[in-house]
C-alpha cells in the first residue's frame, strides 16, 4: 500500500498546479463537496438511522444546516451527477440516463456544459476530483481535463466502480494498475486508496483556495467493506442470507457485476461506518492544517437507497419511511440528505425549504463571486444559509425523468407532486397526484379528486421536458 501512496504522491504533486498566486484569495473559502453513492434519506443517524451511527457526518450539522426537503437530480447515477455539475434539472441535462460511452467510461457531458469545476477554475481555485466521475471517458467531451479538473484520481466508469478491489484506477489521463488486485487478489481497497489521495490533496493545497469534489463509491453495491470493520456488525443483525455474487473476474470487469457477500447487512453498516470515518478524517485534517474555519463542507447523495448486491434498505429503513428506492420517482428514489457546514458562518439548525442538487452551483457561485453560466435551473440558497436580508427565491417547480422501466416523469410544485408512469406506452400510462405536506409516504393518489391540478402540472411537465436525441421518450417525435 505504501508503494502506491508514494506513486500517487508524486503524480498529484506534479499534476495539480499548486503554484497559484493566492494573495487575492486570502478570504476565499475552500469548498469540499462529498457526494455519497446510493445513500438513502434515512441512512444517516441525523436523519433517523438507528441500526448504525454516523457521528462524524452528524457533527457537521452542529455548525451547519440540515435540509429536510432536498432532492437529487435523478434516481440513478450519471444524470444525477450531470445535474449537480451543471446546475440543470434532468429535463435540460445532456445526460439523462446511465449510458455507456466506451469501454473506459460513460456517455459524456457536452463541450457546451459548464461544470462546477470550471466555475471554480474561473476564480483561480485548484480543483480536485476523487472517486467516480461517471459523466464521460478519456478523450471525450466529458474528459476531466476539458472540464476544469486539475487532479483526478478514481474511476472514470460507473461499471468499473462496482468493484471495490479494481485492477486499475485512473490518475488524470494515466492508468494506475494495482497488481495486488489481479484475479481476485483483493488486497488494495480502492476507497482507502482514493481517501489517501484526498489527504495528500488537502496537505498540498492548504495555502491555496481549492474546490474538492469527492464522489465516493460508498455505499453503492458491491457490498464489500474491509473485513476488520465487518466483524463488528456480524452478530448484531441476526442470521444473514448470503448474497452469491459473481463467479468470474472477467464477467465482473466487463459487466460490472457484484462480488459475493456472506453478511450483507453487516457489510452495509460497515461501509457506512467507513464513510463516516473518512469524513471525520477530512475534518481532522482541515483542523490540523488550520483551514477548518475557512472551508465549506457539503454532504449529499446522488439518489435514494439501492436494493442491489444483497442490500436490504427495508431492514435499515434507509429511506426513512419514504416510498420507493433507487430508479423510482417516488420520494424514496429522489429525496436525499443535504448538510451544509461552515463554522460560525452558516445558520445552524434545519430547514424545510424545497431544494435540489442543481442549486449547489448557484449557491457556491454567489459565495465565491463567480459568474453563473446561462440557461441553468438552480437557485442560490444563500439567503437561507446566511440569513441574508433578501428573500429566499423559491423553485417554481422541480422536475425529473427516467428512461428505463417504461419511462417515468415526475414534477413537484409546492406541496403537489405528479408522477407519470409508462410514458412510452400512452395507452398504459397512469397519472398519480400526491399532497406531500400531508402524505409524504405517497400512499393516497388524489389524481381523480383534483383533475385541475393534474392538468396544470402535466402542462408544466411538458414544458420542463425538452427532447434529447440520445435519451428520448417515444412521444418526443411528435413534439
For residue range 284-317, list pLDDT tens digits in order. 999 999 999 999 999 999 999 999 999 999 999 9
Per-residue pLDDT tens digits for 163-184: 999 999 999 999 999 999 988 7
Mean pLDDT of 270-280: 98
**In the predicted model, is pLDDT for residue 421 greater than 90?**
yes
Clarify whether residues 377 and 404 are in a common domain. Answer: no
Band (pLDDT 50/70/90 cuts) for residue 474 is confident
Band (pLDDT 50/70/90 cuts) for residue 150 is very high
Q: Is position 267 within any domain?
A: yes
Clarify whether residues 404 and 378 are in a common domain. Answer: no
C-alpha cell at position 89: 434539472
Nearest to 300 by CA among 340, 327, 350: 340
What's the rounded Cα separation, in Å, for the pair 423 and 86? 26
Domain ranges, residue 66: 2-17+27-386
For residue 350, is the peptide bond before it cis, meaning its omega torsion is within 30 degrees of 0? no
Clarify whether residues 341 and 448 are in a common domain. Answer: no
C-alpha cell at position 169: 484506477
Assign residue 440 the CATH number of its domain.
Answer: 3.30.1120.10
Q: Is position 449 within any domain?
A: yes
Domain closes at, from 363, 386, 409: 386
Pick from 71-85, 142-156, 199-213, 227-241: least confident: 227-241
Clarify whether residues 202 and 329 are in a common domain. Answer: yes
Domain closes at, from 354, 386, 418: 386
State how far the alpha carbon of 6 is from the alpha carbons of 126, 167, 187, 281, 323, in Å: 21, 18, 17, 20, 46
Q: Is position 474 within any domain?
A: yes
Q: Is position 153 within any domain?
A: yes
The residue count for the chain: 479
Clarify whether residues 236 and 102 are in a common domain. Answer: yes
Q: Which residue has the cell 435540489?
A: 356
Clarify whether residues 156 and 239 are in a common domain. Answer: yes
Clarify whether residues 292 and 425 are in a common domain. Answer: no
Band (pLDDT 50/70/90 cuts) for residue 119 is very high
Clarify whether residues 55 and 192 are in a common domain. Answer: yes
**In the predicted model, is pLDDT for residue 245 greater than 90?**
no
What's the rounded Cα separation, in Å, for the pair 258 and 217? 13
What 3 state SS string does 449-479 have? CCHHHHHHHHHHHHHHCCCCCCCCCHHHHHC
Assign residue 213 the CATH number of its domain.
Answer: 3.40.720.10
Clarify whether residues 409 and 272 are in a common domain. Answer: no
Clarify whether residues 380 and 451 are in a common domain. Answer: no
Band (pLDDT 50/70/90 cuts) for residue 16 is very low
Domain closes at, from 325, 352, 386: 386
**In the predicted model, is pLDDT for residue 139 greater than 80?**
yes
Q: Is position 393 within any domain?
A: no
Mean pLDDT of 115-122: 98
Q: What pLDDT was estimated at residue 259?
A: 87
Clarify whether residues 101 and 192 are in a common domain. Answer: yes
Q: Is position 22 within any domain?
A: no
Are 198 and 130 in contact by the 8 Å Cβ rule? The answer is yes
Q: Is position 391 within any domain?
A: no
Establish how many alpha carbons lie within 13 A of residue 382's alpha carbon, considering only the half-sphere containing its beta carbon: 13
What's the rounded Cα separation, in Å, for the pair 289 and 356? 32
CA 444 to chain centre: 30
Q: Is position 419 within any domain?
A: yes
As for how many domains the chain has, the answer is 2
Clarify whether residues 412 and 323 are in a common domain. Answer: no
Amino acid at each position: 500500500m505504501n508503494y502506491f501512496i508514494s506513486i500517487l504522491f508524486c503524480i498529484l504533486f506534479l499534476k495539480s498546479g499548486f503554484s497559484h498566486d493566492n494573495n487575492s484569495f486570502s478570504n476565499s473559502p475552500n469548498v469540499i463537496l462529498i457526494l455519497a453513492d446510493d445513500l438513502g434519506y434515512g441512512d444517516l443517524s441525523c436523519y433517523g438511522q438507528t441500526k448504525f451511527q454516523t457521528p462524524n457526518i452528524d457533527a457537521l450539522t452542529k455548525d451547519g444546516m440540515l435540509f429536510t426537503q432536498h432532492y437529487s437530480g435523478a434516481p440513478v447515477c450519471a444524470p444525477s451527477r450531470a445535474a449537480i455539475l451543471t446546475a440543470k434539472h434532468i429535463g435540460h441535462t445532456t445526460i439523462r440516463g446511465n449510458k455507456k460511452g466506451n469501454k473506459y467510461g460513460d456517455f459524456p457531458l457536452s463541450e457546451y456544459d459548464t461544470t462546477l469545476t470550471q466555475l471554480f477554475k474561473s476564480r483561480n481555485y485548484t480543483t480536485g476530483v476523487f472517486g467516480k466521475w461517471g459523466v464521460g471517458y478519456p478523450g471525450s467531451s466529458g474528459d476531466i481535463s476539458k472540464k476544469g479538473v486539475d487532479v483526478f484520481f478514481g474511476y472514470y466508469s460507473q461499471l468499473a466502480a462496482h468493484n471495490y478491489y479494481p485492477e486499475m484506477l485512473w490518475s488524470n489521463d494515466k492508468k494506475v494498475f494495482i497488481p495486488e488486485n489481479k484475479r481476485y487478489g483483493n488486497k488494495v481497497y480502492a476507497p482507502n486508496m482514493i481517501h489517501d489521495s484526498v489527504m495528500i490533496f488537502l496537505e498540498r493545497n492548504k495555502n491555496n483556495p481549492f474546490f474538492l469534489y469527492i464522489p465516493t463509491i460508498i455505499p453503492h453495491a458491491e457490498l464489500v467493506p474491509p473485513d476488520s470493520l465487518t466483524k463488528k456488525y456480524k452478530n448484531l443483525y441476526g442470521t444473514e442470507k448470503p448474497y452469491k455474487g459473481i463467479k468470474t473476474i472477467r464477467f465482473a470487469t466487463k459487466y460490472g457485476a457484484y462480488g459475493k457477500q456472506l453478511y450483507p447487512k453487516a457489510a452495509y453498516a460497515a461501509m457506512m461506518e467507513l464513510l463516516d470515518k473518512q469524513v471525520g478524517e477530512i475534518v481532522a485534517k482541515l483542523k490540523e492544517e488550520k483551514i477548518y474555519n475557512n472551508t465549506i463542507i457539503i454532504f449529499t447523495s446522488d439518489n435514494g437507497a439501492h436494493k442491489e448486491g444483497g442490500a436490504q434498505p427495508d431492514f435499515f429503513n434507509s429511506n426513512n419511511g419514504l416510498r420507493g428506492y433507487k430508479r423510482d420517482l417516488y420520494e424514496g428514489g429522489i429525496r436525499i440528505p443535504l448538510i451544509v457546514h461552515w463554522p460560525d458562518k452558516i445558520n445552524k439548525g434545519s430547514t424545510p425549504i424545497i431544494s435540489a442538487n442543481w442549486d449547489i452551483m448557484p449557491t457556491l457561485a454567489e459565495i465565491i463571486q463567480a459568474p453563473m453560466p446561462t440557461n441553468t435551473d438552480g437557485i442560490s440558497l444563500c439567503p437561507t444559509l446566511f440569513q441574508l436580508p433578501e428573500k429566499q427565491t423559491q423553485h417554481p417547480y422541480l422536475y425529473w425523468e427516467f428512461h428505463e422501466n417504461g419511462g417515468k416523469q415526475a414534477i413537484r410544485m409546492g406541496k403537489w407532486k405528479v408522477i407519470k408512469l409508462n410514458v412510452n406506452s400512452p395507452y398504459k400510462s397512469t397519472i398519480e397526484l400526491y399532497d406531500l405536506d400531508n402524505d409524504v409516504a405517497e400512499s393516497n393518489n388524489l389524481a381523480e379528486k383534483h383533475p385541475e391540478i393534474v392538468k396544470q402540472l402535466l402542462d408544466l411537465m411538458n414544458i420542463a421536458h425538452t427532447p434529447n436525441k440520445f435519451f428520448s421518450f417515444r412521444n418526443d417525435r411528435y413534439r
